[in-house]
Amino acid sequence: MKPPAPPASLSSSERAIHAPAWLPTLFAVACGLIVANLYYAQPLVGPIAAELGLSPGLAGLLVTLTQIGYGLGLLFIVPLGDILENRRLVLTLIAACAVSLAATALVRNAPLFLAAAAAIGFTSVTVQILVPWSAHLATEANRGRVVGNVMSGLIIGIMMARPVSSFVASLWGWHAIYGLSAGLMAALAALLLFILPRRQPDANLHYGQLLASLWQLARSQPVLRRRAFYQACLFGAFSLFWTTAPLLLTGPAFGLSQRGVALFALAGVAGAIAAPISGRLADRGHGRMMSTVAMLMVAAGFLISLVAQDGSTLALALLTLAAIVLDFGVTANLVTSQRVIFALGAEFRNRLNGLFMATFFMGGAASSAIGAWAYAHGGWSLACWIGLALPAAALVFFLSERHG
């Protein structure tokens, strides 16, 4: 006997709660595979820049352009999740991402690579349509847990991207990771074509009204503005660390190979456990405490990495610990912040998420470029002190807030 259909009077977000229980797990897997595309270049900045003829001071553009493309997609593509049928939108973006990855694997000059990298970022915003969609699958009481579980898949994708790309590059060169991912995106699109349900939002807006409403939301939601600033600082620290740490590890002080960098990057995967933990704690009303701890952990990560002399075994161990602590803090604040902003309104959840993500990814893009410049001119020490200033600024602003 078939279960009764939800009443026709329910909104699209309310009807989504009746979706299959396994759907958030599918979203978590898809998010992890897609978001990895944004991070494959981070540990490969050195060899890619060398082959494309980019100077060390401009090497950070390899990461920055992808993040800028992602930020633009967050502003101009993700809001469409509030008005367009979500399944078709997701499939179209994944297919476009596959094409962009294939182009990146084939190009041999810097301008074309940077253009393709920006396109990868622009089309990878699919994950930020799937994350708000997962919030529609939940009730108010367990929304943090559901979003946290989906985000743990996304975070695992972020953390695994660096070791996987380093390992693949050590075997077949850096072009291979982009070709492999292009094939993976094509396969994912084919799978989701048969599995994803339809979701048609109730909003009746045209695209111009949709974009205009972004400014209105940004002005009218102080919680959104604050949470976006906190995460911009923390994600900026994250991007700076993971752009410059591979340069340090492959430099003369440590002399690691790409395989060595891959093993180091695996340490960051431990940060994925922060997503479900912080989601559950946020559901229980402990969001403010989690954000405070998160900011302190990110700051502590940079301090830990400065304790020992570069090149020593102790320094490598402390740098690994710093990566774990820093990634845990960034993830914890991300999930806590999403739990807070998703509660502001279901009808504009994609727009809230787009504004939130665009703000902090722009912080990440700027910090990647600043990190590469700082490392080229002042070494690891200068990069770390700049990184430390970011969570410190977030914490000072956060402590001035009466409600978390």
CA 240 to chain centre: 14
* 20, burial (CB in 10 Å: exposed 0-12, middle 13-18, buried 19+): exposed
Task: Report the range of poorest mean pLDDT among 81-95, 135-149, 372-386.
Answer: 135-149
- Kindly tell me if the per-residue pLDDT of 138 is higher than 70: no
Task: Report the range of poorest mean pLDDT among 81-85, 134-138, 156-160, 398-402.
Answer: 134-138
Please check whether residue 365 is in contact with residue 67, taking contact to mean a CB–CB distance below 8 angstroms: yes
Q: Compute the mean pLDDT over every residue in the chain, rounded to the nearest whole number.
A: 84
- 91-126: per-residue pLDDT in tens? 999 999 999 999 999 988 888 989 999 999 999 999
Give dist(CA 158, CA 37) in Å, integer. Answer: 8
CA 102 to chain centre: 21
Pick the more confident residue, 95 or 357: 95
Give dist(CA 71, CA 64) in Å, integer. Answer: 10
Give dist(CA 116, CA 102) in Å, integer. Answer: 9
- 39-58: per-residue pLDDT in tens? 898 888 888 888 888 777 67
Average pLDDT score over residue span 297-324: 88
**Per-residue confidence (pLDDT) for residue 156, from 0 to 100:** 85
pLDDT confidence band for 365 (50 / 70 / 90): confident
Average pLDDT score over residue span 280-292: 81
**Per-residue confidence (pLDDT) for residue 404, from 0 to 100:** 44
Q: Which residues of 319-332 are buried (b: 16+ CB within 10 A; e: fewer)?
A: bbbbbbbbbbbbbb
For residue 344, the 8-state DSSP code is T
Q: Model-level pTM?
A: 0.73
